[in-house]
Amino acid sequence: MNTEDEKTVHQLETFLSDTSKIELSDKTKLVNQNIPQLINLLEKGYEVFGQEKFQLWMQTHNKVLKSKPIDMLNTSEGIQQVEDILGRIEHGVYS
């Protein structure tokens, strides 16, 4: 893993520890199993919203997801759903 990836993973771990209901043991397992997918999500979110707005968006209830995006990160499928919503927002589709 290069330095940029390590920085991104650290940002993600910090973000999850500050905002998510996911238990600590699950966070460690989640980060270890889904690092590439989580890095992509973080980069996409920063690209679409910028860092601060993305963090706010992740903590805000989303009608399409029927939950907060941050609470969807405990499975690979949930991460994919959040990525899909970001893609829709990026292309101007109401989400």
Question: Which pLDDT band, with edges at 50, 70 and 90, does 31 fall under?
Answer: low
Supply the DSSP symbol for 65. T
41-80 residues labelled b (16+ CB within 10 A) or e (exposed):
bbebbbebbeeeebbebbeeebeebeebbbbbbbeeebbe
> Range of 9's domain?
3-17+24-90
For residue 95, being part of any structural domain is answered with no
Q: What is the pTM of this model?
A: 0.71
Tell me if 45 is assigned to some domain. yes
Instruction: Please give the tally of structural domains in the chain.
Output: 1
Residue 73, Cα to own-chain centre: how many angstroms? Answer: 6
What single DSSP character describes residue 86? Answer: H
**Digit-coded pLDDT (tens) for 41-75:** 988 999 999 988 998 999 899 999 999 998 888 88
Instruction: Please tell me the distance from the alpha carbon of residue 86 to that of residue 82, in angstroms, as a whole number.
Output: 6
